[in-house]
Chains A and B, each alone.
Chain A
Amino acid sequence: MRHGEHPNSGWTRIALSLAIIVSCLLISFNRGAMREASKLEMATQEGVSPLVGALSGPIRNVENFFSSFAERARAFEENAQLRSELVTLRDRQARYENLAIKVARYEAILGVDTETDVPLKKIAARAVGEVDGPFVRSLLLNVGAKDGVAIGNPVMSVDGLVGHVINVGPRSARVLRLSDLNSRIAVASARSEATAILAGDNSPRPKLDFINQAENWAEGDRVISSGDDGALPRGLAVGVVMIDETGAMRVDLSSASAATDWVWVSPYKPIEPPAEDEVTP
């Protein structure tokens, strides 16, 4: 690098043109390619995670401070509503407990195992970075492989399924949200058990594709993960079916309504395919 170079020198133009051409080539390599995180990308993620985490703390505090004003304004109204809900829920809880005893008795008689495959262990994490970009919908978590997180693990918020882990570093993990263009998960209607694929399209309401038994799907159906793909456990709350203006079925995601701050990762182990039988001649 020499001092005193002319600002409009040929070297500047050559270097700029070369750098632009290399960038274009790198972009073209992405077309139709499977997105796999390189070691450098993981290292960048690891470096950025604590920095953004440190920044997001005060920002979330400021957000909470302002949102608490709005909450205080409607506290009285909400309190009355919650009291009436509590009365209804007490009755429901009593019925639920009776039903649970009855179901356990039936299961014992029939000798069936209906245990859910959702792991009881949960890894609490903070979403330090939220990429809600024009093409990408992902989260950056402050937990990683050292905390027990693995690729494919489902990530939940209090509202429902947020997405699944797509890459993991020692202390950070990236989550592909359900609304992302590349997200595809197997879902089912909790009412009819009809299945479909939830396909993200970067909109807040992903569409239902490959709908099985279309007549068994209706607006307002609660959507859960079906577990058919073996990648996610069955029964995770996803959202509610809605019909858009074109008549297509979409899902109003449970996790899309609120800001994602604290989440938990379920260290679920996907069902492994059976080992191929050795063919003996």
Chain B
Amino acid sequence: MTYLDTQAPIRRLWPAVVAGIALLFASALSVGGVHVFGAFARFGFFPLVVLAIWPRQANTLLSIAFLFFAGIFTDWATASIIGQWALVYLVIWGVLRPELRGSPFAPVSLFLFWLATCGLAVVLLSVTGWFVYGVLPDFGSFGRQMLVATLILPVLGVMRGVISRRFSDSEDWER
């Protein structure tokens, strides 16, 4: 993986809009979940999958706006602390900085970055939750959410590749 620092590639609006809508959709779905082996696993980490495959060519300012409002939307939809998910999305995007990557993630790198994303989200959610409620979170719940989201990661990754190849003629959609 290489990072660009001197080139000035064109930032496109369209990938940012599509990625933002996908993030809002994933945020809405994060209220739902599935019962697996007697435990309930929520789709709470689905929006993080969208963050992990955020287009490199997406306009950065529009991306930040979408991340903030999708985060607030998630907080409203899941009745959690207002600002918590917005902070998680923004910090993770700030760490990943997809627009600075020179080439798409290889599958192994994507998986490693995904694990780092989940780890960072767990730390941020735990710290903010502890700050507001004064208690530590249910780490089992985090584990179940991570597991379900990890299963969906390759599916969404492949879907994203197919859509980008079919509907786009350029490298706008490169991971």
Q: Do A and B come from one complex?
A: yes
Contact B40 A130 (CB under 8 A): yes
Q: Which of B64, B67, B133 contacts A181 (CB 8 A)?
A: B133
Check: A5 CB closer than 8 A to any chain B CB: yes
- Kindly state whether residue A255 has any CB partner on chain B within 8 Å: no
Interface string of A34-60 (1 = CB under 8 A from B): 010110110011011001100110010
In the complex, A28 Cα to B125 Cα: how many Å? 13
Q: List B residues 1-44 near A (Cβ within 8 Å).
A: 4-5, 8-13, 28-29, 31-35, 40, 42, 44
CA–CA, A145 to B34, complex, Å? Answer: 27
CA distance A228 to B102 in the complex (A): 65
How extensive is the interface on chain A, given as a class? Answer: 35 or more
A37 to B53 alpha-carbon distance, docked (Å): 32
Q: Does A134 contact B (CB under 8 A)?
A: yes
B97 to chain A, nearest CB (A): 8
Interface residue? B48 (CB, 8 A): no
In the bound complex, residues from chain B placing their C-beta under 8 Å from that of A59 are: 32, 34
Task: Give the total number of A-B pairs whose CB atoms are below 8 A apart.
Answer: 171
Contact pattern, A 1-37, Cβ under 8 Å of B = 1, otherwise 0: 1011111110110011001101111111111000101
**Given contacts A15-B64, A31-B131, is CB(A129)–CB(B31) below 8 Å?**
yes
B8 x A202 contact (CB < 8 A): no
A153, CB-defined interface residue at 8 Å: no
A134 touches B126 (CB 8 A): yes
Could you tell me the distance between the alpha carbons of A59 and B43 in the complex, rounded to whole angstroms? 12
Inter-chain contacts of A9 with B (CB < 8 A): 60
Q: A3-B11, A44-B73, A140-B31 are in contact. Are A27 and B132 (CB under 8 A)?
A: yes
A window 96-148: CB within 8 A of B: 128-136, 138, 140
Tell me if B54 counts as interface (CB < 8 A to partner A). Answer: no
- CA–CA, A97 to B157, complex, Å? 63
Task: Verify B68–A134 contact, CB threshold 8 A.
Answer: no
Are B83 and A30 neighbours in the complex by a CB distance under 8 Å?
yes
Which of A19, A28, A37, A136 has the largest count of B CB atoms less than 10 A from its CB? A19
Q: Is the CB of A7 within 8 A of B11?
A: yes
Instruction: Provide the bound-state CA to CA distance between A41 and B31, in Å.
Output: 14
* A174 interface residue (CB < 8 Å to B): yes
Name which residue of chain B comes closest to A174, CB basis. Answer: B79
In the bound complex, CA of A130 to CA of B30 (Å): 10
**Which of A8, A138, A181, A259 has the most B CB atoms < 10 Å from its CB?**
A8
A23 touching B125, Cβ below 8 Å:
no
Question: Among A16, A22, A135, A140, which residue has its beta carbon within 8 angstroms of that of B129?
Answer: A135
B82 and A29: CB pair below 8 A? Answer: yes
Query: Is B100 located at the chain interface by the 8 A CB criterion?
Result: yes
Chain B residues with CB under 8 Å of A134's CB are: 125-126, 129, 137-139, 141-142
Chain B interface (Cβ < 8 Å from any Cβ of A): 4-5, 8-13, 28-29, 31-35, 40, 42, 44, 59-62, 64-65, 67-68, 71-73, 76-84, 86-87, 90-91, 93-94, 97, 99-100, 125-126, 128-129, 131-133, 135, 137-139, 141-142, 145
Instruction: Identify the 3 closest CB pairs spanning chains A and B, nearest first.
Output: A26-B83, A134-B137, A129-B31
19 A-B pairs besides A1-B13, A26-B83, A52-B32 with CB distance below 8 A are: A1-B59, A5-B61, A7-B11, A7-B100, A9-B60, A12-B64, A12-B99, A15-B60, A15-B65, A27-B83, A38-B76, A131-B78, A131-B79, A131-B80, A132-B141, A134-B125, A134-B139, A135-B129, A181-B135
Interface residues of A (CB under 8 A from B): 1, 3-9, 11-12, 15-16, 19-20, 22-31, 35, 37-38, 40-41, 44-45, 47-48, 51-52, 55-56, 59, 63, 128-136, 138, 140, 174, 181, 201-203, 259
The 22 listed contacts between A and B (C-beta, < 8 Å) are A5-B8, A5-B59, A7-B4, A7-B8, A11-B60, A15-B61, A16-B93, A16-B94, A19-B65, A19-B67, A22-B68, A23-B68, A27-B128, A27-B132, A45-B76, A47-B28, A52-B28, A56-B32, A128-B32, A131-B79, A131-B80, A181-B135
